[in-house]
Amino acid sequence: MSLSHDPAGQRTNPISMRAGKLILVGCVIATGCAPSEGTAPTLEETPPNIVYLYADDLGYGELGSYGQEIIQTPNLDRLAAEGMRFTAHYSGSAVCAPSRASLLTGKHSGHAFIRDNKELGGWGPDEPEGQWPLAASETTIAELLSVQGYATAAVGKWGLGGPDDHGHPNAQGFDLFYGYLCQRVAHNYYPTHLWRNREKDMLSGNEWFSAHQRVDSAPVDPVGWDAYRGETYAPDRMIDEALAFVRDNADRPFFLYFPSMVPHVSIQVPDESLTQYAGTLDDDPYLGERGYLPHPEPRAGYAAMITRMDRDMGRILDLLDELGLSDNTIVMFSSDNGPTFNGGTDSEFFNSASGMRGLKTELYEGGIKVPMLARWPGRIAAGSATDHVSAQWDVLPTMLDLIDATPAANSDGISFAPTLLDQGTQAQHEAMYWELGRQQAVREGDWKLYRRADRNGDIVTVELFDLATDPDEHDDRAQERPEIVARLQALATATRTPSELFPSPFDPAEPAG
C-alpha cells in the first residue's frame, strides 16, 4: 500500500482499501480459517486499536522484564507478562530523529529520508524550532492507518519537522499532535510551551531557562536546585492528552503513537517521584560537567523518571481496561536507541545496556538493540518470548498485516505478525543495515560488520563479530575471516542509496577529474 506522488512530492492519490475480505481477528495472516461457535467479530467489523509506546534513550536492560534490578517498572513488566518479549529487536538508528523516521516510514537508514539529527535552529528561546523535516513524499504509518478509518494521534516528542513545514505531524497523517515538535526544546521538562497541532500551548508557571548549565559546586541550600524546574511538568500534560484521545475515540479504531521523551536527559522529575529513590543510591550531586542540567541525586532522579514514565504508560493500559478496549487493542513498546552517556546518567551503575558494547550514538549492540514488548490479549500468547531478529522498520508492515491491510510499497520491513500470532511462516531478513554519520553496520545471520570513518572520510575501523558466540562484541574476527568481511561490505554497499542531505563516507567515490 502506498501513496502516489506528483513530481513536487505532494500527495495526489488516496490509498485504496482492500474491500470485501472477512478474516477472523485471530487469523489475520492465515488462510482457510474456519469460523467456529463463539468466534470474535471479524476485523472488518471491529478493527483493532493500535497503541505504540516509545521511550527515549531507554536501554535494553532498564526494564524489570529485561533484568533491571534497581529501577521499578511494574506496568511495563505487566505488559511483558501479558504479551510477548522480544530479545533481538533493533532500533532504526542510534539517535533520535533517524530512529523515528525509520519507525514511521518502514525504511532502514540506508534508504530513509532522515538519517541523522539535523537542526533547524539554535538553543536560545527565540530560535526556530525543529529538526530537518520529513519529506512530503514520505508515507507514514499514520497516513496508512488514516485511510483505513483510524483516528490518529502523536503525543510526545516529534523531532521530524517544525511548526510550519511539511514535516509537521498534521502533514504526516496525524489528526492530533500534542507535545514537543523540537528535540532541543525537549531537553527541558519544564518548557514554556508545548504544541497542540500548530498552536502553542503555554504552560503555567514555566519561565525559559537553558537546559544546559554547569555550576562549580552544589547549592548549600536545597532551594538552590529549584532554578532547574518550573511549575508544570510537561510529561504530565502529555499523558493527560493521550488519555483524552483514547476516551474521545473509544467508539472507533484509533492509533496512538506515544513517543515519551523519558529518560532522555536533562534529569528532571517532580519531588513526589524522586522520593521513591532519594537517599538510596549513594548519589553525589551532578554539576553539569557532562552537559545538561545539574541535579542533587542524578541516579535517583534518573530512576524516578523511568518509574514515573512507567506509571504514565500504566495509566494508558488501565484506561483500556476501564473502557473495555484491551482485548481489541494491540499495544507495543520500545525505545528509540540505547542508553546515553551524558547529563548525569550512569549507564554502568544501572547496567543499562545489559553488558553489551556501546551506548547511544554508536552502532554497536548497546546503541541499537532495544526492548520490545507486544500485547494483544487472546491473540499474542501471554508470557511469551521470541528471539526473532527484527527492527523498527518492521513495525509498519506488521501493523498493516495485523489489520489485514495491503502491504506498503517501498518498505524495507518484514512483518513479524507470524511471530506475534504464532501462525504461518515467519520471513527473515537476509541482512539488516544501519548507517549514522561516519558509522555503518550490517548484520547477516549471526555475523555483524561494523565500520567507522575518521573526519577525513577514511575507513579506520573494520570489525567483524559473531553474535552467536560473542553477543557483546568483544572478539573482533575481521582478520581471520576476510571473506566474510568482503561479503558484508559488498552487501552494505548494495543495500543503501546515497543521500544528498546526509552525505556519507560510504558513498561511492567521485570519478577523478
Tens of pLDDT, residue by residue over 251-284, are 999 999 999 999 999 999 999 999 999 999 999 9
Same domain for 441 and 350, yes or no, is no
Same domain for 453 and 335, yes or no, is no
Same domain for 417 and 453, yes or no, is no
User: Which residues lie below 8 Å from residue 398, measured CB to CB, with a gap of 6+?
Assistant: 413, 415, 416, 417, 420
Q: Are strands 372-375 and 329-335 parallel, antiparallel or unpaired?
A: antiparallel
> Taking the chain, what is the end-to-end CA distance rounded to the nearest angstrom?
43
Closest CA to 293 of 211, 224, 225: 211
Residue at 506 is within a domain: no
CATH number for the domain that contains residue 245: 3.40.720.10
Residue at 189 is within a domain: yes
The DSSP bridge partners found for residue 466 are 447
Same domain for 400 and 449, yes or no, is no
Residue at 505 is within a domain: no
Global pTM value: 0.91
Mean pLDDT, rounded, for 164-185: 98
Measured in whole angstroms, how far is the alpha carbon of residue 326 from the centre of its chain?
A: 22
Same domain for 415 and 437, yes or no, is no
Same domain for 373 and 442, yes or no, is no
Compute the distance between CA of residue 311 and CA of residue 366 in angstroms, rounded to an integer.
25
260, 157 Cβ separation under 8 angstroms: yes
Same domain for 319 and 443, yes or no, is no
Mean pLDDT, rounded, for 363-373: 98
Cell 548519589 sits at which residue? 283
Measured in whole angstroms, how far is the alpha carbon of residue 131 from the centre of its chain?
A: 16
Closest CA to 386 of 416, 351, 425, 353: 416
Same domain for 373 and 456, yes or no, is no
Q: Using pLDDT thresholds of 50, 70 and 90, give the confidence band for residue 513.
A: low
Q: Are strands 151-157 and 254-263 parallel, antiparallel or unpaired?
A: parallel
> Is 50 exceeded by the pLDDT of residue 20?
no
Q: Are strands 372-375 and 89-90 parallel, antiparallel or unpaired?
A: unpaired
Compute the distance between CA of residue 259 and CA of residue 247 in angstroms, rounded to an integer.
19
pLDDT, position 4: 32
Residue at 411 is within a domain: yes
Residue at 31 is within a domain: no
Residue at 6 is within a domain: no
Same domain for 288 and 394, yes or no, is yes
DSSP structural state of residue 107: -
Average pLDDT over all residues of the chain: 91
Task: Report angle CA 430, 60, 153 to the nearest 5 degrees.
Answer: 85
pLDDT, position 45: 65
Side-chain-side CA neighbours of residue 338 (13 Å) = 28
Residue at 309 is within a domain: yes
Compute the distance between CA of residue 310 and CA of residue 255 in angstroms, rounded to an integer.
20
Tens of pLDDT, residue by residue over 277-332, are 999 999 999 999 999 999 999 999 999 999 999 999 999 999 999 999 999 999 99
Compute the distance between CA of residue 337 and CA of residue 62 in angstroms, rounded to an integer.
12
DSSP three-state, residue 4: strand
Count how many domains the chain has: 2
Same domain for 417 and 436, yes or no, is no
| 3-state SS record for 139-182 | CCHHHHHHCCCCEEEEEEECCCCCCCCCCCHHHHCCCEEEEECC
Read off the C-alpha cell for 455: 573526519
Same domain for 190 and 305, yes or no, is yes
CATH number for the domain that contains residue 449: 3.30.1120.10
DSSP structural state of residue 260: E
User: Which residues lie below 8 Å from residue 134, measured CB to CB, with a gap of 6+?
Assistant: 101, 104, 105, 113, 114, 140, 160, 161, 166, 167, 172
Compute the distance between CA of residue 189 and CA of residue 206 in angstroms, rounded to an integer.
10
Final residue before a domain boundary, out of 402, 421, 440 = 421
H helix intervals, 330-449: 347-350, 365-368, 395-402, 417-421
Q: Using pLDDT thresholds of 50, 70 and 90, give the confidence band for residue 12.
A: very low
Q: What range does the domain containing 445 cover?
A: 432-494
Compute the distance between CA of residue 92 and CA of residue 227 in angstroms, rounded to an integer.
36
Final residue before a domain boundary, out of 393, 421, 449 = 421
Q: Using pLDDT thresholds of 50, 70 and 90, give the confidence band for residue 46.
A: confident
Residue at 10 is within a domain: no
Going from the C-alpha of 279 to that of each of 239, 285, 286, 296, the distances in angstroms are 28, 12, 14, 10
Compute the distance between CA of residue 379 and CA of residue 331 in angstroms, rounded to an integer.
12
Same domain for 303 and 448, yes or no, is no
Identify the helix (H) or strand (E) that includes residue 441.
Answer: strand 439-444
